[in-house]
């Protein structure tokens, strides 16, 4: 007969070592957890404005945007156009008005292009523009370029430049809307300069007779209005080949 084995009492260690609830540390118990505040989400327009203000703090608002624009240089020596290494998003912007203590509190606008092909961005203050011409699919701007511009975009005027803007029509009215807006704003600034000069009665006008006969061109920082016959870009450069 097989001897009967004595039964041994087995203790269930799992019962003797039951998991005890984790006690919160003093730090956890004294300082309750709070979720971090959500970071405010900025719109694309706000982000674009911040970038533009980095290059020119005088910019205060974006009036219109064209997603893609190519710049062309005009060469007066042989009367041809050449594609420049400047292309990107075009912005039509409002700028801070001049203080009345300087050259009068008048409206300011600019055209800005953030260059995706290089580091040279393009910002043209409407007060420096001498002519805006819309010809076929191009917007042509003749202006006086500033060199060594300060933080407010101001600096001595340098050579005259002529640029062609080809705005890619991502929508049916993109090109027409932006070209019409730029020309309208330039005419608004130009008329403001002429009215200001007339009101002041300064000698910068060069005499009433010159104004009646030929008109004036604007573009200097002092708001001077120069006498002389105004030639449109169509008269100067119309029908010239594009390289």
Note whether residue 223 is domain-resident.
yes
Q: What is the mean pLDDT of residues 180-203?
A: 78
Between 90 and 98, the more confident residue is 90
Q: Which two tokens stand for residue 38?
A: 């959500």
Does the pTM exceed 0.95? no
pLDDT tens sequence across 139-165? 999 999 876 554 445 556 678 899 999
Q: Is the pLDDT of residue 9 over 60?
A: no
Q: CA distances (Å), 44 to each of 50, 65, 111, 200, in order?
A: 10, 11, 18, 42
Structural element, H or E, at residue 156: none
- For residue 169, the enclosing domain spans 44-237
Assigned domain for 5 exists:
no
Query: Could you tell me if residue 103 is inside a domain?
Result: yes
Look at residue 35 and tell me if it is in a domain: no
CA distance 77 to 134: 22
Confidence bin at 210 (pLDDT 50/70/90): very low
> How many domains does the chain fold into?
1
CATH number at residue 172: 2.30.29.30
Give the model's pLDDT for residue 23: 54
Q: Is the pLDDT of residue 223 over 70?
A: no
Range with the largest mean pLDDT of 27-31, 101-105, 144-148, 218-222: 144-148
Q: What is the pLDDT of residue 97?
A: 84
| Lowest-confidence segment of 39-43, 51-55, 56-60, 177-181 by average pLDDT | 39-43
């Amino acid at each position: 007969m097989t001897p009967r084995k004595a039964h041994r009492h087995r203790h269930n260690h799992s019962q003797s070592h039951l998991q005890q609830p984790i006690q919160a540390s003093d730090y956890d118990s004294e300082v309750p957890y709070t979720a971090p505040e959500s970071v405010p989400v900025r719109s694309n327009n706000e982000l674009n404005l911040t970038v533009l203000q980095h290059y020119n703090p005088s910019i205060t608002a974006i009036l219109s945007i064209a997603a893609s624009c190519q710049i062309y240089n005009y060469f007066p020596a042989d009367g041809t156009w050449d594609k420049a290494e400047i292309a990107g998003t075009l912005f039509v912007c409002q700028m801070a008005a001049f203080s009345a203590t300087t050259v009068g509190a008048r409206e300011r606008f600019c055209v800005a292009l953030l260059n995706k092909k290089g580091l040279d961005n393009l910002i043209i203050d409407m007060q420096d523009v001498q002519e805006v011409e819309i010809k076929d699919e191009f917007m042509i701007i003749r202006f006086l370029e500033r060199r060594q511009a300060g933080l407010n975009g101001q600096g001595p005027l340098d050579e005259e430049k002529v640029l062609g803007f080809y705005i890619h029509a991502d929508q049916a009215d993109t090109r027409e809307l932006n070209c019409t807006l730029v020309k309208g704003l330039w005419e608004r600034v130009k008329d403001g300069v002429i009215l200001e000069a007339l009101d002041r009665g300064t000698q910068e006008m060069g005499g009433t007779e010159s104004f009646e006969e030929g008109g004036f061109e604007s573009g200097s920082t002092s708001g001077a209005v120069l006498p002389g016959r105004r030639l449109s870009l169509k008269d100067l450069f119309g029908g010239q080949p594009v390289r």
